[in-house]
Amino acid sequence: MNTYIGQNAQLFGAEEHRLVGGRGDGMRLLEVRNGKGLCFTVSLDRAADISRLSVMGTNFGYFSPAGYVAPAYYDPCGAGFLKSFTAGFLTTCGLTNVGNPCEDGGESLGLHGTIGNTPAESYSVAYEGDNMIIKATVPDTRFFGHKLVLVRTYTVSLVENKLSVRDEVTNFGNTEEPFQMLYHYNVGYPLLSEDAIVTIPAKKVTPRNAHAAEDIENCLRMEKPTKGYEERCYYHEMEGKACVKVENPTVGRSLTMEYDTAALPCFTEWKMMGEYEYVLGIEPGNAYPDGRDVMREKGMLKFIAPGEVKTHEVVFTFN
């Protein structure tokens, strides 16, 4: 124990709060501090995603005009997802669809699936050595359908500004199911600006469409907020251990993302340089955001067998 303090909460810890009023009324938020400058908010009623993240007072994520929206207001049809897309530092997409709304296998699938608007059924906070461990359990199930459960573990270093996001998805049903997952990490101002330097060590870059292809040579160059900007997406192919970095010498801050491409073979860069909609998505996943039907047609659709556990981990270092 540190004899200089009355309790750990003086320096670090996790505290649950609830929102009052508006569309976010009643939402549970877990405010996390590591005592070294890393502060972030776990949105327990939204898949235990991260709605806000800052380091030494500098904001790293993007908070959309939708703001906090409780799952009760979620519209799963078509692109209704966008009406409650908080974005934040992390929005989880899946587990049955990533990307475009579509019809596949007799199912009508909305934009980015439903997991990101599903509350955690339980969570816990514990301490192990120099780490704070936060666990949350989020079900993605239906009668006469898939039976998946996501167990998310945040490992928060108490000695450096480092964060691990580890997910285990289990199929506890008795049939093989389509399984898609994309980590929609969203970088925002002031870490993101026209001065930001983005490093993605890709062996190949593919534009999502003709509009993105028009400016592919500038895919890693950030711009000022632009009125009427149309999003551009690029698919980056990497091998082995991926190391993606966003740094901004103007604010003196950076983040490094590391993960295993064997588990998450697809990486999407979402470049959105619009006014008020100014965000860079750095998005590892097991699918591209073209919809499950397209992934099936291309032979890229992943599946999870009965009793199988899929594990993904993304590690961040913040400076």
280-314 pLDDT, tens digit each: 999 999 999 999 999 999 999 999 999 999 999 99
89 alpha carbon, distance to own chain's centre = 6
CA count, 13 A, side-chain hemisphere, 203: 9
- Amino acid 163: pLDDT: 98
C-alpha–C-alpha distance, residues 256 and 130, integer Å? 21
Q: Which amino acid is at 190?
A: P
Q: Name 223's Cβ contacts closer than 8 Å, sequence gap at least 6.
A: 194, 273
State the number of CA atoms in the 13 A half-sphere of 249 facing the CB. 2
Read off the tokens for 5: 């303090």
pLDDT of residue 301: 98
pLDDT score for 2: 87
pLDDT (0 to 100) of residue 19:
98
Q: Note the pLDDT of residue 64.
A: 98
Coil, helix or strand for 37? coil
If one looks up domain 8-318 in CATH, what number appears?
Answer: 2.70.98.10
Mean pLDDT, each 10-residue run in order, the chain (319 residues): 91 98 97 98 98 98 98 95 97 97 95 97 97 98 94 98 98 97 98 98 98 98 98 98 98 98 98 98 98 97 98 98
* Residue spans per domain, the chain: 8-318
Rg (CA), the chain: 19
In this prediction, residue 132 carries a pLDDT of 98
What tokens does 11 get? 């320096």
Q: What is the pLDDT of residue 138?
A: 98
Q: Residue 236, exposed/middle/buried by CB under 10 A (0-12, 13-18, 19+)?
A: buried
Global confidence as pTM: 0.97
CA torsion, ordered 245, 248, 254, 256, to nearest 10 deg: 0
Are the C-beta atoms of residues 191 and 255 closer than 8 Å to each other? yes
pLDDT digits (tens, 9 = 90+) for 199-251: 999 999 999 999 999 999 999 999 999 999 999 999 999 999 999 999 999 99
* Percent composition of the chain: helix, strand, coil (DSSP 3-state, to 5): 10, 50, 40
